[in-house]
């Protein structure tokens, strides 16, 4: 094992994790709003390279191909792989292609559907190797993955985003960027069930900031109104969802509204988890493994499911507690680095199997 950097190229953030001889030594998450153009990613790569340093090997996964700056997912995959290759000074750059393993960056066109949004598969694969039976929950700023692991294997029914949306294994709700009108249609307020303004006035980052549950560094993009990230400003944005100003009700009332949104989000995840678990027999002592910035929510979900909870960070060896926590927030980047580091010939074997099955 030698030094390797793993990357997760998302539509909103770029995440990178440096691994040296199996030990995670650095991790970084940077804003990279691809909907504003690919230049945002170039800036993020420049900053990440300075933070992580150089390395002879790099492995990447992605979800950013979904950004509407691209005309298709296929264009997105090819563009992101090309941008990574141009901005990483690496002797080796491979892209994670799920069941096909790691693919050289100049071969991505042959594996578009396997590469697109496969970051969940990388982390689930790593966890499955280390924990035989579990429900893996990775909650980021935008989405949540819920993956059953049985007997050391991924037991997901879906693979693509479209398939996983149908199966409940991908829930488009996250700890920061989710619009509040996507979380609930009505909330309790002053003894009434109040309809919401169907406008992007606030997001879940405001909710968790008001509740004091927003992890440091989790909210890296602009607020809905472009104003500051204070509790007072978040209360003002939340009040606007109800057609009010913050001074129209006491602070405790806005805390109550924030709790209602938190509960609605947790119920959505609970329903999805019950659906996923209904397809598989998992022993009751099989834990919920939580990763991403929504670790607190994953822990609350485990309690509702009456299952033990284990943070993904407990599976990692890192140079410090802080680095371990950051690596857990960047779980897919961590996972592609560790998977590639522990099995560097995976892509070669995968290609050999495909040639054999094709009769070459």
Q: Quick one: pLDDT at residue 326?
A: 96
Which of 138, 140, 124 is CA-nearest to residue 29? Answer: 140
Residue 141 within any structural domain of the chain? no
Cβ atoms of residues 331 and 10 within 8 Å: no
Confidence of residue 351 (pLDDT cuts 50, 70, 90): very low
Domain holding 243: CATH number? Answer: 3.30.420.190
Give Cα 179 to chain centroid, integer Å: 17
Domain holding 58: CATH number? Answer: 3.30.420.40
Residue 162 within any structural domain of the chain? no
Q: What share of the chain is helix, strand, coil (3-state, %, to 5)?
A: 45, 20, 35
Confidence of residue 1 (pLDDT cuts 50, 70, 90): low
Instruction: Please provide residue 168's backbone torsions phi and psi, each rounded to the nearest 5 degrees.
Output: 85, 5
Mean pLDDT over residues 52-71, rounded?
96
Residue range of the domain that includes 220: 180-266
Mean pLDDT over residues 85-91, rounded?
88
Distance (Å, whole) CA 338 – CA 99: 16
87 vs 3, 27, 77, 113, 199, CA distance in Å? 18, 18, 16, 24, 38
Q: How many domains does the chain have?
A: 2
Q: How many CB atoms are closer than 10 A to CB 186? A: 12
Mean pLDDT over residues 69-79, rounded?
96
Cβ-based neighbours of 256, under 8 Å, separated by 6 or more: 188, 189
Say yes or no to pLDDT of 132 above 50.
yes
The tens digit of pLDDT for each residue in 189-237 reads: 999 999 999 999 999 999 999 999 999 889 999 999 999 999 999 999 9
Identify the three-state secondary structure at position 345.
Answer: coil
Say yes or no to pLDDT of 359 above 60.
no
Where is 139: in which H helix or E strand? strand 134-139
Residue 50 within any structural domain of the chain? yes
Mean pLDDT over residues 172-197, rounded?
96
Residue 321 within any structural domain of the chain? yes
Q: Indicate if 332 and 258 belong to the same structural domain.
A: no
Q: Indicate if 12 and 97 belong to the same structural domain.
A: yes
The tens digit of pLDDT for each residue in 245-283 reads: 999 999 999 999 999 999 999 999 999 999 999 998 899
The tens digit of pLDDT for each residue in 290-307 reads: 999 999 999 999 999 999
Residue 308 within any structural domain of the chain? no
pTM for the full predicted model:
0.92
């Amino acid at each position: 094992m030698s030094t390797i950097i793993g990357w997760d190229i998302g539509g909103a953030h770029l995440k990178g994790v440096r691994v040296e001889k199996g030990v995670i030594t650095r991790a970084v998450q940077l804003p990279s709003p691809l909907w504003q153009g690919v230049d945002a990613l170039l800036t993020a790569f420049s900053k990440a390279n300075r933070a992580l340093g150089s390395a002879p090997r790099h492995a990447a996964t992605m979800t950013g191909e979904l950004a509407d700056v691209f005309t298709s997912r296929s264009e997105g995959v090819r563009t992101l792989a090309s941008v990574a290759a141009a901005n990483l000074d690496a002797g080796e750059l491979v892209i994670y292609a799920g069941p096909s393993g790691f693919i050289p960056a100049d071969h991505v066109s042959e594996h578009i559907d396997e590469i697109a949004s496969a970051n969940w598969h990388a982390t689930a694969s790593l966890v499955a190797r280390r924990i035989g039976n579990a429900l893996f929950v990775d909650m980021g700023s935008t989405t949540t993955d819920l993956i059953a692991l049985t007997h050391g294997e991924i037991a997901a029914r879906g693979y693509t985003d479209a398939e996983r949306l149908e199966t409940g294994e991908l829930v488009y709700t996250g700890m920061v960027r989710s619009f509040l009108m996507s979380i609930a249609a009505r909330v309790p307020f002053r003894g009434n069930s109040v309809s919401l303004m169907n406008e992007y006035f606030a997001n879940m980052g405001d909710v968790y900031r008001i509740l004091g549950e927003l992890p440091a560094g989790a909210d890296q993009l602009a607020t809905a109104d472009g104003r500051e990230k204070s509790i007072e400003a978040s209360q003002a944005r939340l009040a606007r969802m109800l057609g009010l100003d913050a001074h129209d009700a006491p602070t405790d009332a806005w805390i109550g509204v924030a709790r209602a949104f938190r509960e609605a989000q947790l119920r959505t995840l609970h329903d999805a988890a019950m659906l996923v678990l209904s397809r598989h027999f998992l022993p009751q002592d099989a834990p919920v493994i939580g990763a991403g910035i929504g670790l607190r929510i994953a822990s609350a979900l485990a309690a509702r499911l009456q299952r033990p909870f284990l943070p993904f960070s407990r599976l990692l060896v890192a140079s410090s507690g802080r680095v371990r926590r950051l690596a857990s927030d960047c779980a897919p980047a961590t996972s592609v680095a560790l998977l590639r580091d522990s099995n560097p010939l995976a892509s070669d074997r995968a290609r050999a199997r495909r040639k054999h099955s094709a009769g070459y």
